Each structure stands twice: as C-alpha cells, then as structure tokens.
Amino acid sequence: ALYQEQDKKNDSLAAYEKALALEPGNENYAQLIRTAKQGASYECTKQAIDLQQQRKQAEALGYFVQARAIDDTSETRASYAISLQ
C-alpha cells in the first residue's frame, strides 16, 4: 500500500515538474513541487523510523536514502545521520 501511495505522489511530482517546464515562471507549480517533495520525503522518513523501531536497520537505511534523494533538506540529513549511529 505504501508503494502504491508513493507511486501516486511520484506521478504528481512528475506532472508538476512537467507543468513547470512548460511555464517556468509559474510560482504555483514551483510551490506544488516543493510541497510534493516534502510530503514524499516525510513519508519515506516516517517509514524508515518505523523500521528502525522494529530493529530493521538495513531496510530503514534504504528509506532514509530515498528520502534524501527526494528532498535533501537539513531535516532529512539530520534524520539520516541519526540513523547511521
């Protein structure tokens, strides 16, 4: 279920990016992209934390890496760094 939900968010993100490419100055599309990236990154981070709590470190690390690939913010980097300890 998580993967299906993530796929829909990725589809939305791709659509917003395509729209922004067609209208580069459209701040609404730019904001939608930022929001979509933050949401997708948050979901990956949340899944990673849940897996860590289940002591599934290797699986959790994959989600942290994915979160950073989606939206490499200081918050995402901090969560990733904590996961490596």
Which tens digits make up the pLDDT trace of 57-67? 999 999 999 99
6: pLDDT strictly greater than 80: no
Cα–Cα distance, 60 to 18 (Å, whole number): 31
More confident residue, 29 or 84: 29
Closest CA to 41 of 49, 29, 30: 49
Find how far residue 41's CA is from the centre of its chain.
Answer: 2
Which pLDDT score, from 0 to 100, does residue 7 have? Answer: 61
| pLDDT grade for 84, boundaries at 50, 70 and 90 | confident
Tokens of 11: 């589809």
Q: Given pLDDT bands bounded at 50, 70 and 90, which one contains residue 18?
A: very high
What does pTM read for this prediction? 0.75
Residues 6+ apart with CB under 8 A from 69: none
